[in-house]
Each structure stands twice: as C-alpha cells, then as structure tokens.
C-alpha cells in the first residue's frame, strides 16, 4: 500500500503544529513515515500527553502514607485499606465518542475503565458514572441520554459489575457535547500489584483479545479537538465497538495468568491502542520493544501499518511474559477461548520498533515518544462574564409566595429529581457486595476474601489437584464512594466551584459514615487555547487541590477531557468531576439519608443561612435557575476549615451510635434536603417508604424565605436521632464548634414547615410523585 507524502497539510490534519513537527524531525533525525506521523499525533494529543494541563495538574496533592501506586505512575492509583488489602480506582471520560455514537461511546467508556483496573492486577468490583446532558425538552438530547444510559447498562450488566452510584445533571450548556465519565474500583492484595512495564530483555510480548479492526481509529486524537458537525461525521469510525462478554473472558484470563507468576508486565490497549501500550511499557521500564504487525490478529483484510497501530479496537491486552514460560500463557488463553499471538520481544535499545512483513515501518525512541511530548503554558485570563456575576444582587428577585409549589418544582428539576429511570437499567446487586445502593448520599460496598483475585498459592494448589490453602484472614472492608460537581458553581466561580465539588463528595462520604482515603478527578473543559477557558481550568484545579489537602484525600489519578464544545453552541460549563473513596470502620457505622422512625428528632448541623453572603446562598442555586431562569451570582462560599470540622464531628456522632440518618444539604437547599429525607427510601422495587416531618424554622427571622428554604449555604447536614438523645447530640456538636439546632420531628404523612412568616404543608405522596417520576415523564 502506497503511503501518502508527508506534507504540511497532512501534518496539520494530524493536529501537529509546525513546531511540534519540527520536534519530531529532531527526535528522528529524518522525516517520519506515515505511520510514525500518526503515532506522534495520537501520543502527543492532549488525551494521551496532557500537554496543555501537565503544569496545572502538578498542583494536586498526590502523596500519602497509604498510597501504594500514585498519580501518573500507572493505569490507576492504588490505596492501602489495611490487612494487606488494597483498592485500585480511577475515573475517565468518553465524551466525544458518546456525542457521536452514544450507545457504543458510553459502553466502551465503561470497558476501558474496567481494563484500567484489572491491568493493575485488581478484580473490578464496582462502577459509577457521572453524566451531563442538555435539557430533556430537546429530542436530540433524549436520544443521546437514552443511548448513553443503555450503553453503560449493557456493558456493566453483561460484564457482571454493579453500577452502584453516580450523578446526572441537565443543562443547556451540554446540549452539543454530553459528558460521560466512567469510574471503576477494584480490589487486590498488596503483593498482587502489577506494573505496566516491559521488563526483561528478551522476554516475549503477547497480544491477547479479539482481532484488531478499523474501529476506533485514532480515537485519542479525535478526543483532542473541538467537536463539530463535520468532525463528528468524519470520526464516526473513531468510536470503538465493545464486547463485554469478551472483556469478561479477558479479565478472568489475565487475573489467572497473573497468579502463575509468569507475567513481567501488562498493559491494556486503550487510547491509541497498540501504539500506546507498546511505547509506554517500554518507556516505564527503560527498555525497548520490537513487534511484527503480520503477527497481530486482524479482522479486516489489507490493513495498513497505520491502521493496525492506531486502531482502538476494544478488549485487547499487551502482556510481557517471562521467557521460557510461553506455553503456560498459551494454555491459559486457550482455556478461556481467547485469541492470542506472540507478536514481539523486549529489547535493550530503548526504541519502539515496528515491522510489517519484515520491513521497519516505525523506529522511534520510546521514552521521547511516551514521556517527552511538548508541554505548553497556556495564557489564562479571567472570564469577562465574571463582572456581571459579581455584580448580581437579589434586589430584582421576588421572594417566594408559594413555598410548597416551588418545592415541588425543584424536586421535579431533572438535575435534582430521582435518577431511578437511569439506575433501574443498571444491575447494582451483582457480586453480592452492595450494601448501600443508589438513592443515598454515597454508595457502600463490602469487600471480603471472596472479592479478591486468586493468589499464586491457590493457583498452584489447584494445578496440583490439592485443596486450596487456607486464605489469610481478611476482615470485611466497607468502602464508600461518591462523585460530585456542580458545573454552574464552577462556571460562576471556578475556584469556589472546585472547592465545593470536593467538599460535597467528602460530605457525602461523611453522611455515609466514611472517612476519605483518596480522590480521582475528571476535568471536563472547553478549548484550552481560549484564555478564559484555561483560567476556568486553573482556578478550579486550585480549589480542588485545596479541598483535597483539607480533607486528606490525595489525588491518585484521573483524566483531562478538553475541547468539549460544539460550534455555535459554545463550550460546556466547566465540569471538574471529583470521585472520592472512603473507608467505614465498622458495619454499624453505615448511615443512610432517609428518616427512620416516627418521633425521631431532626437536627441541622451547620448555619441555616450564611448572612455574610450578599446572596444568602442563592447565587448559582437550583432555585434561581428553576424558578427565575437565571444562572448567575457568586455561588455560596466553602470554608474548608469549617467543612472539615463538620465532617469530623458528624463521624464522631455516628460512631456513638446515636445518629439514625444523615443527609447533606446541596442543590435545592434545606427544603429539598428535608423532602428527600422523607421520600428517598425504597424497600423494594417501586415500593417507596414515605414518612413525613414537622419542621419549625420560626426562630430564624429577618431573612428571605427563599434563602432559608432553598438557599444552598455550604457545610450543612440534616441528621436524625432518638428524641431522648437530641440534647446530647446538639451539645456534642456545639462542643466541637459546629452550629447545631433541633428543627423538627419525624412523623406523619406530610412535610409541614413553619417559618417566621407562615406555614406550608405538602403531602409526601405528592412530593414523591414529583421527584420520582419527573425524568420518566420527560422521556415518555
């Protein structure tokens, strides 16, 4: 096949600047081949190299005593959870593919993040997702929403992993560019950690998984440019096609293979496919790698070197095997009925050499390709719209005159409403480790010895036909996780919005009874070449980093997704999604959001309204957006010291055994929090347990009613306890420096709220109907 001539136009088509191409020439000492040009294009894309964001990401805290594998080292971070057990977790985006082909884009996003976990040697045990779409009144948005949720459900359900948590927001800014962020968590023993490095000169390199096709061609490069109607149509082939059943076989085969001890290194073929897996494994080990493309299984005839190297066909792994143990590897792959091929060898040259039919088509220094992409210090400038945001005041906003009606409208807001239409399509009970399922502040899973991958001793015993050795005792571990980001907050104040994202995720963990262990982030932004967008990115990272330090939740890894904008629709709201994982000490500390028993005291931890805030917590609020159609005003401030004190105090109260429920105040404010506490519990499928409450806020005077009920002042949690313990709980909280007051009693069939200016009542049945059925009605 004749390769095209390397022209300035072809270089530009590969998204390489003239300066970047000049650097390629300097590295190679000659013009690149067409395949080499494609390889530099994908490896130096933002998606693979972080060339626009690497300096900013250095602001994240990444070190802690419990971190076993840190940010940037491997495919996922790993944290010690005690007793020789560790967890691996990460979040990644599949935004552009999902905008073009929502089902396969979302499905392969799930598949990719699962592979990132088991390539570390961990068994994947739980998944969550963070999704953003335009408004559901738009038929195209409904199509995208349906396709994405179906794709996530298909892949996770077929693979057999519980999708147990997540978040979904709807806003016009995401209309042309939905966000699909997928998270996976796995478990392993400390001695089972596997590295993605090509160690051992002379070791053979194996390919395992389905044959390589033309799907997903240069997907990493596609994800690193603005999405336009033209590019979406042209790049439909850049969307991969997933096979979750194949991935399950690959996962089980790889975990069994690791137990043999014959693996020297393992890497999944994710973004940039065979290119990324070969050059990165060699770069990490300081070795070289040589492969022959004729040996790579191919499902399309006459594939070019360019196509084979840049294909992102799914469910493929690259495995470096200790020399002399090839037959063991082949035996396991054959047992699992998996395609495999021995395609190359580890060398001492430090170079990535690719042959096709014996002819060298790629000869590149592996480390320079993988680790020495150009890095840019982009210009940043405060967004011009911030002047109007800072100037906004409530003077022209009428106070609420129908609190009950406004509450129902907020509960029906698609970003606040129940996401049961989404999660009922997910299997969130498979593997039998789910403890708290979707519907509470944070999901909780149980990890025990059955969750862990097979050990070398267990494998050896099985091969010898002997009884499995007694496993080292592993006490049950209870892991909680949550993901959060209010894009409107970040748009209106990136720094405070970043702090709010990490604070809310950690607050959700505290409400579940967990202390944070670490965080992973997915930074979704527009084009970094625009100074105002890069300013949003820098400021939000600064806020998240401060929050991570305050809550002792170091960043273990993550993903940057830029160029999320589409033509005249413009850029998305900046959305730095944060997923935080925490540990619950004892099963009796597991706490849920819903009210438990009639007669229980309802206590507010935190200040009812931040009167120092000129907007009283209404800036950027769901109330202002839903009832007044305005997305403006500075969002509520986050005092990290107060937040940390609140979380510590709440955990201490939970540990006393006196807290029956805990629910954080976020979108929709105190009234929505109280309503949700009355209606969110499900005792069985489509079987809610509804319970009312009588609330007395009449002692809070001289404040706007809408601010009191719907303001989103930060650092607030609603808890319940037995009435007998209320005084003691309040005094303990105050002793720790947390404002606390009893605001009501659980019971009845309505939510009744008394204020200084009057009283309103809403039946819990009506509130539940507005909240539970809102999305389903929009999708009907």
Give, to the nearest 10 degrees, the angle between helix 669-679 and helix 403-412.
70
d(CA 70, CA 72): 6
Token pair for residue 50? 């972080």
Token pair for residue 401? 């005159």
Q: Look up 655 and say whether it is catalytic.
A: no
d(CA 158, CA 153): 8
Longest dimension (CA), the chain: 85
Beta bridge partners of 188: 86
**Pairing mode of beta strands 123-133, 163-170:** parallel
H/E element holding 221? helix 219-222
d(CA 572, CA 44): 24
Q: Is the dihedral of CA 557, 558, 559, 560 positive or negative?
A: negative
Catalytic residue among 47, 356, 414, 663: 47
> 388: phi > 0 → left, psi -120 to 50 → alpha, else beta; which?
alpha
- Residue listed under structure tokens 């007793």: 83
Which residues, 6+ apart, have CB-to-CB distance to 96 below 8 Å? 105, 177, 222, 223, 227, 235, 238, 563, 564
549 touches 556 (CB < 8 A): no
DSSP secondary structure letter of residue 448: -
Neighbours of 537 (CB within 10 A): 27
d(CA 516, CA 137): 38
Q: Distances from the Cα of 210 to the Cαs of 234, 243, 270, 313, in angstroms?
A: 25, 9, 13, 8
Backbone angles phi, psi at 525, to 5 degrees: -140, 175
H/E element holding 184? strand 179-189
Q: Distances from the Cα of 109 to the Cαs of 127, 474, 483, 566, 641, in angstroms?
A: 12, 32, 17, 21, 36
Catalytic residue among 94, 199, 428, 663: 94
Q: Look up 322 and say whether it is catalytic.
A: no
What CA dihedral angle connects 173, 175, 177 and 182, to 10 degrees?
90
Backbone angles phi, psi at 698, to 5 degrees: -65, -20
The pairs formed by 359-363 with CB atoms below 8 angstroms and a separation of 24 or more are 361/33, 361/35, 361/36, 361/293, 361/305, 362/33, 362/35, 362/36, 362/39, 362/305, 362/309, 363/28, 363/36
State the burial class of residue 780 (Cβ atoms within 10 Å of its Cβ: 0-12, 13-18, 19+). Answer: exposed
Beta bridge partners of 695: 744, 753
Q: Minimal CA–CA distance to 681: which of 653, 709, 661, 651? A: 661
713 touches 606 (CB < 8 A): yes
Catalytic residues: 47, 94
């Amino acid at each position: 096949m004749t390769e095209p001539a390397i022209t300035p136009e072809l270089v530009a088509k590969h998204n390489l600047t003239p300066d970047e191409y000049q650097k390629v020439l300097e590295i190679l000492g000659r013009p690149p081949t067409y395949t080499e040009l494609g390889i530099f294009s994908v490896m130096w894309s933002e998606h693979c190299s972080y060339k626009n964001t690497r300096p900013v990401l250095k602001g994240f805290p990444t070190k802690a005593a419990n971190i076993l594998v840190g940010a940037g080292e491997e495919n996922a971070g790993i944290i010690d959870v005690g007793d020789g057990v560790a967890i691996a977790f990460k979040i990644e985006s599949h935004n552009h593919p999902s905008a073009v082909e929502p089902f396969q884009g979302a499905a392969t996003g799930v598949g990719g993040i699962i592979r990132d976990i088991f390539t570390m040697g961990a068994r994947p045990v739980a998944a969550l997702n963070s999704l953003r779409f335009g408004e559901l009144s738009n038929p195209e948005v409904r199509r995208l929403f349906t396709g994405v949720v179906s794709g996530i459900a298909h892949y996770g359900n077929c693979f057999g992993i519980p999708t147990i948590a997540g978040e979904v927001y709807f806003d016009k800014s995401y209309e042309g560019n939905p966000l699909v962020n997928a998270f996976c968590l796995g478990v392993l023993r400390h001695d089972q950690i596997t590295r993605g490095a090509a160690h051992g000169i002379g070791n053979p390199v194996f390919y395992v998984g389905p044959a390589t096709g033309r799907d997903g061609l240069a997907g990493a490069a596609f994800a690193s440019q603005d999405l336009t109607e033209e590019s979406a149509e042209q790049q439909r082939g850049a969307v991969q096609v997933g096979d979750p059943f194949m991935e399950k076989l690959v996962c089980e085969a790889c975990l069994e293979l690791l137990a043999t001890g014959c693996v020297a290194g393992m890497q999944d073929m994710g973004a940039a496919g065979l290119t990324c897996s070969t050059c990165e494994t060699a770069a990490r080990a300081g070795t070289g790698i040589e492969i022959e493309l004729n040996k790579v299984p191919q499902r399309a005839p006459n594939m070019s070197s360019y196509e084979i190297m840049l294909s992102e066909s799914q469910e493929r792994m690259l495995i470096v095997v200790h020399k002399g143990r090839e037959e063991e590897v082949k035996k396991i792959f054959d047992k699992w009925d998996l395609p495999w091929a021995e395609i190359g060898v580890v060398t001492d040259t430090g170079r990535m050499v690719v042959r096709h039919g014996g002819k060298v088509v790629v000869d590149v220094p592996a480390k320079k390709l993988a680790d020495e992409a150009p890095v840019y210090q982009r210009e940043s400038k405060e967004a011009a719209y911030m002047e109007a945001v800072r100037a906004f005041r409530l003077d022209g906003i009428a106070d609420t005159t129908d609190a009950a009606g406004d509450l129902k409208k907020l509960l029906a807001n698609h970003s606040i409403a129940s996401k049961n239409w989404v999660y009922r399509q997910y299997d969130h009970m498979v593997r039998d480790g789910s403890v708290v399922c979707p519907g509470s502040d944070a999901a909780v899973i149980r990890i025990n010895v059955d969750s862990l991958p097979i050990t070398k001793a267990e494998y050896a015993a099985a091969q010898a036909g002997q009884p499995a050795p007694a496993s080292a005792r592993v006490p049950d571990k209870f892991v909680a996780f949550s993901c959060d980001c209010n894009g409107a907050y970040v748009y209106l104040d990136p720094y405070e919005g970043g702090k709010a994202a990490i604070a809310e995720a950690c607050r959700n963990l505290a409400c579940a009874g967990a202390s944070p262990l670490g965080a992973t982030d997915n930074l979704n932004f527009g084009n970094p070449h625009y100074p105002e967008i890069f300013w949003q990115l820098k400021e939000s990272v600064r806020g998240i980093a401060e929050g991570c330090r305050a809550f002792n939740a170091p960043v273990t890894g993550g993903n940057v997704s830029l160029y999320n904008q589409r033509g005249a629709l413009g850029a998305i709201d900046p959305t730095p999604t944060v997923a935080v994982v925490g540990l619950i000490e004892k099963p009796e500390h597991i706490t849920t959001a819903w009210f438990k028993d009639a007669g229980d005291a309802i206590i507010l931890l935190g200040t009812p309204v931040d009167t120092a805030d000129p907007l009283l917590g209404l800036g950027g609020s769901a109330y202002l957006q839903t009832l007044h159609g305005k997305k403006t005003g500075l969002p509520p401030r986050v005092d990290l010291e107060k937040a940390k004190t609140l979380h510590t105090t709440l955990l201490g109260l939970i540990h006393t055994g006196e807290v029956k429920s805990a629910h954080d105040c976020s979108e929709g404010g105190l009234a929505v929090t109280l309503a949700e506490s009355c209606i969110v519990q499900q005792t069985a499928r489509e079987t809610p347990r509804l319970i009312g409450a009588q609330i007395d806020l009449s002692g809070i005077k001289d404040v706007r009613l809408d601010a009191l009920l719907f303001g989103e002042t930060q650092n607030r949690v609603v808890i319940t306890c037995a009435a007998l313990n209320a005084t003691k709980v309040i005094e303990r909280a105050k002793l720790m420096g947390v404002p606390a007051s009893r605001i009501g009693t659980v019971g009845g069939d309505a939510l009744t709220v008394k204020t200084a200016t009057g009283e309103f009542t809403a039946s819990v049945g009506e509130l539940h109907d507005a909240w539970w059925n809102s999305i389903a009605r929009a999708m009907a």
